[in-house]
Each structure stands twice: as structure tokens, then as C-alpha cells.
Structure 1
């Protein structure tokens, strides 16, 4: 039944939580020096991985999934976090982050992008929201010095 739920959630675009150990076993070779997976989620073949330095989007492509794309958002670029909890019915929980896409993070030259994560209503997203909120507050303090 759990496999079926994961497939249904994956088809709906929702992530299911995976342990850092499971994700490290599968994706550890792709981490940078001294980088550690802190949490992560699986979406059928794709993954959303949080490390102590960045958020990694793993996109397995093609019929075999042998071709894999890795894209990152660095944690030091996140400046805003929004959360929407699941309602009644088919609603999902969502977290949206706003981040700076430019390398030189100066308050007079900001380029903002947004990214939305959708989770099944059974997923407790509050710890992730709080974590990302604390990251964004620290980044704002650093950028605005």
C-alpha cells in the first residue's frame, strides 16, 4: 500500500519523505566536499535533497532514468519562505521560497526567483518551514549589514 501511495503522490507532484541515510546511499557520490544531507524527499524517480549548503533537485530523465540532472539552490540565497497547509479535500501542503539568483547578493542589485514545493497533506512541513525560515532570516541579516 505504501508503494501505491508513493506512486499516486508522485503522479500528483507530491514528495514523500526519505531518510538522510537512504538519500546519502543513493546520492552521496554527488555531494561536494564536506557536504551532508540533512533531509530529503522522493518523487517517484526524482528527489529533493536538503544539505547543509544547498537544496538539490535530482531529475532522472528518459525511460531508464540513467540520464540524471542535478540543479541547486544555495541556502545562502534564500530570503523569503511561505507556507500553505493542506485544507479539506485534495489540497496539498506547499512551501514557496524566494531566493536571489545572482551571485553578488547586494541589496541594490537583487534578482529574485521563486520555487514551490508541494507535499501530501499527511507530511508535516512545519519543521522544513521553520528551518528555511531561520535560514532566510540569517541571510537577510547578512545581506543587509
Structure 2
């Protein structure tokens, strides 16, 4: 499992949804991809049900750790959009039993759409 207690876990950039092919086997009926973001090796797939973070391990990268973060377990969340000088955006999610998970996005992101989806589960 990724160490989510370690402040900012990822500095993510928008990726095409083809990076999410590895996680599609984990999808439940009706689950759809909202967006996919990639770091150096690790990536996060946001669906309409949860966020799935993928920790790529080993020299070859064939070993992967998939951590499912269901929106139904979210107690609170915070969305910070990009500004004029600060082009980064942030998403902080507080999960029951896990605590805070923070994702940092560089460049263009669907942060508002992700926030709407999480909000639909909470409100």
C-alpha cells in the first residue's frame, strides 16, 4: 500500500485513459473512468465510484500495488483549483480509518469534475 501519511503522495499530470487498462479488471458493474493522472511511474485513476492509486514496483515495473479509495468512505474533501501564477491544483480527501490523502496535480486537470463526483456521494 502507498504511504498516504507522507504528505503529498503524487505530483500528477493528465494522462490518457489507456494508462488505466491495468485497473479495469478491478471495476464493478457500472463503474466508469472519469480521468487518469500519472506521476513518474505511479498513477491514479478516478472513476465514478472511487480513486484507484497504482504503485508501480520493482525494476521492470511488472509488479503493481492497487489501492482502492472508495468515495463512500470519504468524510470530507477539499479542492484547490489552479491560479494564474500557481498552475498546480490539489485534492485532499479525508477517509474514515485512513486519514488524509493528498494528490497534487500539475497543469490541466479535471479537478472540478472529480470534486463533483465525490460530492455526489457525500451529499
> Quick check: TM above 0.5?
yes
Corresponding residue of 1:3 = none
Structure ranking higher in strand proportion = 2
SS of residue matched to 1:44: coil
Alpha-carbon spacing, 1:72–1:25, altered in 2? closer, same or farther (3 Å):
closer
Q: Tell me the CA shift for residue 122 of structure 1.
A: 3.1
SS of residue matched to 2:52: strand
Corresponding residue of 1:50 = 46
Q: Quick check: 92-101 or 35-44, which moved more?
A: 35-44
Question: How many correspondences in the alignment?
Answer: 113
Normalised to the residue count of structure 1, the TM-score between the two structures is 0.64
* Counterpart pick for 2:88 among 87, 92, 103: 92
Gaps of 5+ in 1: 1-12, 102-111, 138-145
Alpha-carbon spacing, 1:55–1:92, altered in 2? closer, same or farther (3 Å):
same
Q: Which structure: larger Rg?
A: 1
CA-atom RMSD in angstroms: 2.4
Alpha-carbon distance in 1 for matches of 2:110, 2:35 = 13
Normalised to the residue count of structure 2, the TM-score between the two structures is 0.73
Gaps of 5+ in 2: 1-9
Alpha-carbon distance in 1 for matches of 2:47, 2:110 = 19
Alpha-carbon spacing, 1:40–1:33, altered in 2? closer, same or farther (3 Å):
same
